[in-house]
Amino acid sequence: MTVLIGQLFTGVSIGAVLLLIALGLALTFGQMGVINMAHGEFIMAGAYTTYVLQQVITAAGWSLLIALPVAFVVAGAMGVLLEILLIRRLYARPLDTLLVTWGVSLILQQLARDIFGSPNVQTRAPELLTGNIGLPGGITVANNRLFILALAGSAVVALTVALRVTPLGRRIRAVVQNRDLAAVSGIATTRVDRMTFFIGSGLAGIAGVALTLLGPIGPTMGTNLIIDAFLVVVVGGIGQLKGTVIVAFALGVLQATGEYLTTLSVAKVMVFIAIVAFLQWRPQGLFTLRTRSLA
């Protein structure tokens, strides 16, 4: 029983990381149909922001707290820059966007190598987040994992509230549901697109800050995570956050269970097969707003 709950928590914490990364993707992919492969490098930018801030502010707790908004803005600004310079021109060709942003991600990785060096760097975690909490029943839970879970939870809540309540959120939802109708209703869709890209990329920055608690920071840290996150979006369906949330945790738990029963590598293959099987059942993803359109 203890083992079971422990594994469940491992799965949930893997899911929380996936969720943080996939939220931003779901937003940009859902609204604009844009596959941003450089999203992984925005994660990296967030992580390096934390690292740089810790060089300036040595108190680990404070630097982490300050890093959260700063990384959001840094990664968000990078996203907006990318949108203005390249993606804007490619809305009609989503597959090509994928390749173009892959090129951008190569450039950003090399930039990180040239600035910070190719070896990984490490941040110090604040003392509060290094220990474990013992729960009744002999279960121990790592503090940093708990923090990431809380962070992912608050990101979901904040995003949901923002989408439901604020005027910007209303506009975003309108554009997702029907871009043309939103445009003729007087919504400046290009400006909404840009804001969406800012928020989505900013969330990647926050994910980057969270990842500094789990491991080293390196130029290629984003590449390994991005595919799993994309799978979450594909399976979760676009246009609604709840699909992303459910699938992120489901994949996390599946991964952890598979890893526990077999090995990491077999678990990855199992997850892939499960996804293909799932798409047989619901090719459009778990929840989706739009019906399959006739192209």
Partner 1 sequence: MTTVARDPVAAADPAPAPPTRPAAGPSRHRYRAAAGFAFGAALLFAVAPLVLSDFRLSLLAKYLCVAMVAVGIGLAWGRGGMLTLGQGVFFGLGGYAMAMHLKLADAGPGNMPDFMLLYGQLDELPLWWRPFASPWFALPATVLLPMAVAFVLGSLVFRRRVRGAYFAILSQALAAAMVILLIGQQGTTGGTNGLTDIQGFFGYDLDDPVNQRMVYFIIAGTLLALLALARHLTQCRYGELLVAVRDSEERVRFLGYDPATVKLVAYVVAAGMAGLAGALFVPAVGIISPALIGIVPSIEFVIGVAVGGRATLLGPVLGAVAVVWARTALSERFPGTWTYLQGLLFVVVVAFLPGGLASLIGLARRRDDGEPRPGLLRRLRLRRREGAA
Q: Which two tokens stand for residue 147?
A: 């923090």
- Give the residues lining the site for partner 1 (CB under 8 A): 29, 33, 35, 86, 89-90, 93-96, 98-100, 102-107, 109-110, 113-114, 223, 227, 230-231, 234, 263-266, 268-269, 271-272, 275-276, 279-280, 283, 292, 294-295
CB of 276 to partner 1, least distance (A): 6
Question: What is the C-alpha to C-alpha distance for residues 240 and 51, in angstroms, rounded to an integer?
Answer: 33
Count of positions (residues) in the chain: 295
Of 230 and 249, CB closest to partner 1: 230
SS3 string of the chain? CHHHHHHHHHHHHHHHHHHHHHHHHHHHHHHHCCCCCCHHHHHHHHHHHHHHHHHHCCCHHHHHHHHHHHHHHHHHHHHHHHHHHCHHHHCCCHHHHHHHHHHHHHHHHHHHHHHHCCCCECCCCCHHHCCEEEECCCEEEEHHHHHHHHHHHHHHHHHHHHHHHCHHHHHHHHHHHCHHHHHHCCCCHHHHHHHHHHHHHHHHHHHHHHHCCCCCECCCHHHHHHHHHHHHHHHHCCCCHHHHHHHHHHHHHHHHHHHHHCCHHHHHHHHHHHHHHHHHHCCCCCCCCCCCCCC
Of 61 and 94, CB closest to partner 1: 94
Of 3 and 293, CB closest to partner 1: 293
Cα angle 145, 237, 179; round to 5: 120
